[in-house]
Structure 1
Amino acid sequence: MKRKPFYCVTVMIMIACMMFTPTAFAEKTIPNGPSTNGNDTISSIVTYEDMIKILGDIEHTSKGKVNVFTLDDYGTTEKGRSIYAATIGSGETKVWVQAQIHGDEKLVTEAALQLLKNLSKSKSSDVETILQELTIYVIPMYNPDGSIANTRGNINGIDLNRDWTLGGFKGAESLVVYKYWADVKPDYAIDLHHQGFKTVAGTNESTSFSLGISLAPDGPTLPGIKDGSYNTVTKQMVSYVYEDLKDYGYTHIDRYQVGGDEKYFIDIKGGVVSAMMLGLNYDGINPTKHSNPAIFFETKGNSRDNSLGQKSNGYLTKQNYLGLKSILYGLASGEVFTVDESRWYDIPAYDAVGYLTDY
């Protein structure tokens, strides 16, 4: 068949992660995914108050391995709440992990907490390698106000993941985290999200885990950053996780795409991890124009669409934890950098007709 021409589309990016409705494939997908009958089960999901207590417990039992603190020196949320962070590890390579920038994407906070807990307790050789080679900076709940209100944006409806721009920050939370990132200057970043309900290309399996890069590989922007090195290393990072997790249980993995009948890869510049790769320098806060490669994980279901179900929450949380542990070990051991970057194209995806952008 003659393929359609590949082109670039400019639209309002607010719809980028909202193109798949949770009921679209409810009758024919396997395995049993999140509830699509509006019977959301979030009573057992970690709240802001729960997170604060759990972080305290983890720090207390870690015997000095985990350091928990607030970002109050940089500011607070629109409602005056503290944004919490934690560090673990003593290595020279800095890895940034952030979760729940969208307040209705809740299971990723649990995964971030699980990561801190398990890394602080495990004595396995792979964990020892991670802690010796890396220092990990974790923000388990980027958007506390949105989490409490169960909304995608912050309390003022601002999508914090479209707010890191040269024009300035509309959300108080954005500036807090940006200032902290500029001080930390991480070497790599992983961003944890949820997405709607969809199927893996060429199958009737519901996608449980999408792996993505917010500046599309080989697209309009990424090959021009750092002489193309980020174009390579981000594909290696994603491919490493895919190879490690593709045979795990009910995990059905694909490359992240958006769209209805026609599919697009994303090439957005206002997203947090995109701005990290672009070396955003707002108001002189990042004068060296520090940048770092970054990838993101997308888990199916969210509480906005009433598409989280108690039966699936456990494995959805675990796949994020396993993905995080995988990429951390790959970076710590150096195995990531031995991956053939072309493996990116072996990860299932629909034929795309262009790029969805915010410019």
Structure 2
Amino acid sequence: MENKMLIDLFTDKSYAGIKFEKITGRYVTISDIELIKKEFEKDFEIVEIGKSVQNRPIYIYKLGTGKTKVLAWSQMHGNESTTTKAIIDLLNVFKKASHKIISGILENCSLYIIPMLNPDGAEAYTRINANSVDLNRDLRNLSQPESKILRQQYEELQPDYCLNLHDQRTIFSAGNKASPATLSFLTPSKDEERSIDEARRKSMGLIAGIEKDLKDQLPGQIGRYDDAFNINCAGDTFQNLSTPTLLFEAGHYPNDYEREKTRKYVFRALLSCLYQISNKEDVSVDYEDYFKIPENQKLFNDIIIREVEIDGQLRDVAIQFREVLSNKRIEFEPVVENIAESIHKFGHREIEGKRRKLKLPGEEKVAENVIVNKIILNTAELQVKYG
């Protein structure tokens, strides 16, 4: 680990005492935010900064007294809740403030945290808001109340750093290997030329530092995104205004579809980032190491069944889980995505067909876009639905 001071806070034993166990799973809504508001209202300043399209409250948490201002926001996309859970864990560790690293961050930084920017999307478990607008493509037009709220906070606070917190799909690999991108990062571009100025060097240096702090815990599982410029996006907008901005993407950890393990690593990444901001004289010093982080590729399916007989021919079958809201829980619905002679991707789960005949219970034909909870290989029945 690069920062030896973080070792105590990076142990699983330490995290077990930090994790806010009252909120788990993928479905995190405004009722959860109200719960943590009651939990932390005596410890931090919590302000309602506006309402969503459907009149749900949006809050900002203010903590710390330092001169360096950090603005962070999560669940800009309503169905991306892992970073929200990690933010709640972060609030919990700041509430306890029992470690000198934590007290040091609070002395050197002022943190402004919006745990849920899109409460309507969170309730419906959709990426978009109640007006079917992607808020992360609305920072130029500012057509939505939630977008306006974020921009207003940025203008009022004039932060020194911005942290834009998201989830990514299970399809991403860290580079071209069979390694899921459990965490991914991006320093957004500030212009079409993808210029590297002082602000971008700072965000690149911070990401490089996070990767160094976590690479032993997530070997080969940290990636970075392509930095194509889009002024409509929040990160590109704020980077264009010369504010160092980091995009966090919570991804897949093996057999962790509820993203409770990923949550832990996002928490540690946030802690690493804030520790660097509060302690390093020059956070950009190792910025070139950012380019050593492998770029994300779309090389995974949730399940791949290899070499099965379908209609007398040998085929590979790829299954992808579709996330469905049901009774206030997220179910992972297996859907046949691709049937091909050979699928050149990796499966988070791989099933060797061994040239056996593949049948789908209740289906006359094996076809794409079919929901399938079980498969039959000759006479053996296998469960493919998660959980």
For the criterion TM > 0.5, the same-fold answer is yes
Note if 1:325 corresponds to 2:271: yes
After TM superposition, give the deviation of residue 188 of structure 1 in Å.
Answer: 0.3
Give the structure with the larger helix fraction: 1
After TM superposition, give the deviation of residue 249 of structure 1 in Å.
Answer: 4.8
Residues 71/232 of structure 1: CA separation in 2 closer, same or farther (3 Å cut): same
Larger relative contact order, structure 1 or 2 (CA cutoff 8 Å, min sep 6): 1
Q: Where does 1:102-181 land on structure 2 (aligned, <5 Å)?
A: 102-165=77-140, 168-181=141-154
Aligned to 1:57: 39
Structure 1 unaligned regions, length at least 5:
1-41, 258-264, 280-290, 302-306, 352-359
Using the alignment, how far apart are the partners of 1:202 and 1:241 within structure 2? 21
1:275 to 216, 221, 237: 237
Contact 1:99 1:142 in 2 (8 A): yes
Using the alignment, how far apart are the partners of 1:71 and 1:244 within structure 2? 34
Aligned to 1:255: 224
After TM superposition, give the deviation of residue 164 of structure 1 in Å.
Answer: 0.9
Aligned to 2:257: 309
Using the alignment, how far apart are the partners of 1:44 and 1:178 within structure 2? 27
Aligned to 2:251: 300
Q: Where does 1:178-327 land on structure 2 (aligned, <5 Å)?
A: 178-197=151-170, 198-215=172-189, 220-223=193-196, 228-249=197-218, 252-257=221-226, 265-279=227-241, 291-300=242-251, 309-310=257-258, 313-327=259-273
After TM superposition, give the deviation of residue 78 of structure 1 in Å.
Answer: 0.8
- Please give the secondary structure, in 1, of the residue aligned with 2:164: strand
Contact 1:216 1:266 in 2 (8 A): no
Residues 269/247 of structure 1: CA separation in 2 closer, same or farther (3 Å cut): same
- Please give the secondary structure, in 1, of the residue aligned with 2:55: coil
Contact 1:240 1:336 in 2 (8 A): no
Deviating 4+ runs (over 6 angstroms): none
The two structures have a TM-score, normalised by structure 2, of: 0.66
Query: Partner letter of residue 266 of structure 2?
Result: N
Aligned to 1:34: none
Using the alignment, how far apart are the partners of 2:122 and 2:281 within structure 1? 36
Query: Partner letter of residue 285 of structure 2?
Result: V
The two structures have a TM-score, normalised by structure 1, of: 0.71
Give the structure with the larger strand fraction: 2
Residues 193/95 of structure 1: CA separation in 2 closer, same or farther (3 Å cut): same
Contact 2:69 2:111 in 1 (8 A): yes
Query: Partner letter of residue 177 of structure 2?
Result: T
Aligned to 1:344: 290
Structure 2 unaligned regions, length at least 5:
1-23, 298-387
After TM superposition, give the deviation of residue 251 of structure 1 in Å.
Answer: 7.5
Aligned to 1:284: none
After TM superposition, give the deviation of residue 342 of structure 1 in Å.
Answer: 1.2
1:156-201: CA deviations, max 9, x gaps? 1101001111xx3121111122112211111001111111222121
Return the index of the structure with the highest Cα Rg: 2
Aligned to 2:46: 68
Aligned to 2:67: 92
Q: What percent identity do the matched residue pairs reach?
A: 27
- Please give the secondary structure, in 2, of the residue aligned with 1:156: coil
1:128-180: CA deviations, max 9, x gaps? 11010000000000100111011111011101001111xx3121111122112
After TM superposition, give the deviation of residue 272 of structure 1 in Å.
Answer: 1.0
Contact 2:203 2:284 in 1 (8 A): no
